[in-house]
A and B are shown apart, each in its own frame.
Chain A
Amino acid sequence: MSERDVILEVEDVHKSFGGLAAVAGATFDVERSSITALIGPNGAGKTTLFHVVSGFYKPDHGAVRLDGERIDGSPTHRIVRRGLVRTFQLTKALTRMSVLDNMLVAAPAQPGERMWRVFATPGAVKRREEEVHERALELLSLVGLERLADDYAAVLSGGQRKLLEFARALMTEPSLVMLDEPMAGVNPSLGVELLEHMRELQRERGTTFLLIEHDIDVVMTVSERVVVMSSGAVIADGPPDDVRRNEAVIDAYLGSPHAHEEVHEIAGESSS
Chain B
Amino acid sequence: MTGLANVQFWAFVGVVAGIFTIFSLGLQVQFGFAGLLNFGHVAFMAIGAYTMAILVVKTGLSLWIASLIAIAVSMGFGLLLGLPTLRLRADYLAITTIAFGEIVRYLALNEQELTGGPQGTINLEGAGAAARYNDEWLDFQRTVQGWLEVLLGDNATRDVTMLVIVWTVALVAIVLLQILVRSPWGRVLRSIREDEDAASALGKNVFSYRLQALALGAALGAVAGLFFAFQFSFFSPNDFEPLTTFFAYVIVILGGTAKNWGVPLGALIFGFIFAGTRFLDVWPLNTFDSAERAYLRLIIVGLILIGLMAFRPQGILGKREELVVE
With the chains together, A83 CA to B198 CA distance in Å? 16
For residue A151, which residue of chain B has the nearest CB?
B321
Q: Is the CB of A94 within 8 A of B194?
A: yes
Say whether chain B's binding surface is mostly helix, strand, loop, or mixed.
helix
Q: Is the CB of B212 within 8 A of A152?
A: no
With the chains together, A168 CA to B195 CA distance in Å? 14
Contact with A along B179-215 (1 / 0, CB 8 A): 1100111011011001101111111111000001000
B322: interface (CB < 8 Å): yes
Contact with B along A219-263 (1 / 0, CB 8 A): 000000000000000000000000000000000000000000000
Which of A6-14, A30-38, A74-82, A202-210 forms part of the interface with chain B? A74-82
A142: interface (CB < 8 Å): no
Task: Enumerate B237-294 residues with CB–CB distance to A below 8 Å.
Answer: none
A129: interface (CB < 8 Å): yes
Q: Is the CB of B180 within 8 A of A118?
A: yes
For residue A86, which residue of chain B has the nearest CB?
B201
Q: Is the CB of B188 within 8 A of A105?
A: yes
B1: interface (CB < 8 Å): no
> Given A105-B188, A113-B184, are A92 and B197 neighbors across the interface (CB < 8 Å)?
yes
The number of inter-chain residue pairs (CB within 8 angstroms) is 94
Q: Is the CB of A96 within 8 A of B325?
A: yes
Contact with B along A88-120 (1 / 0, CB 8 A): 100011111100010011101010111100110
Task: Enumerate A44-86 residues with CB–CB distance to B below 8 Å.
Answer: 54, 56, 75-77, 80-81, 85-86
Q: How far is the CB of A47 from chain B (nearest CB, A)?
A: 13
Query: Within 8 Å CB of B154, what residues of A?
Result: none
Interface size on A, residues (CB 8 A): 37
Query: Within 8 Å CB of B206, what residues of A?
Result: 77
B326: interface (CB < 8 Å): yes
Q: Is the CB of B187 within 8 A of A105?
A: yes
Interface size on B, residues (CB 8 A): 28
Q: How far is the CB of A181 from chain B (nearest CB, A)?
A: 15
Q: How far is the CB of A148 from chain B (nearest CB, A)?
A: 14
> Given A110-B184, A154-B325, A154-B326, are A97 and B191 neighbors across the interface (CB < 8 Å)?
yes
Q: A76, A105, A154: which has the most chain B beta carbons within 10 Å? A: A105
Query: Within 8 Å CB of B322, what residues of A?
Result: 96, 152
Q: B205, B212, B216: which has the most chain A beta carbons within 10 Å? A: B205
Contact with B along A148-170 (1 / 0, CB 8 A): 00001011000000000000100
> Given A94-B194, A95-B326, are A114 and B185 neighbors across the interface (CB < 8 Å)?
yes
> Given A77-B204, A96-B325, A108-B203, are A115 and B185 neighbors across the interface (CB < 8 Å)?
yes
Q: How far is the CB of B203 from chain A (nearest CB, A)?
A: 4
With the chains together, A81 CA to B200 CA distance in Å? 10
Q: In the complex, which of the residues A56, A80, A129, A155 contacts B202, with contact meaning CB atoms closer than 8 Å?
A: A80
Q: Is the CB of B185 within 8 A of A76?
A: no
Q: In the complex, which of the residues B183, B201, B325 contacts A112, with contact meaning CB atoms closer than 8 Å?
A: B183
Q: In the complex, which of the residues A81, A92, A95, A97 contacts B203, with contact meaning CB atoms closer than 8 Å?
A: A81
The 4 A-B pairs with the shortest beta carbon distances in the complex, nearest first, are A154-B325, A80-B203, A112-B184, A92-B198
- A residues near B (Cβ < 8 Å) are 54, 56, 75-77, 80-81, 85-88, 92-97, 101, 104-106, 108, 110, 112-115, 118-119, 125, 129, 152, 154-155, 168, 171-172
Apart from A54-B201, A94-B194, A118-B184, what are 19 other A-B pairs with CB-CB below 8 Å? A76-B201, A77-B200, A80-B201, A85-B203, A92-B195, A94-B191, A94-B195, A95-B194, A96-B325, A97-B191, A105-B187, A108-B203, A113-B184, A115-B212, A118-B183, A119-B179, A125-B184, A152-B322, A171-B202
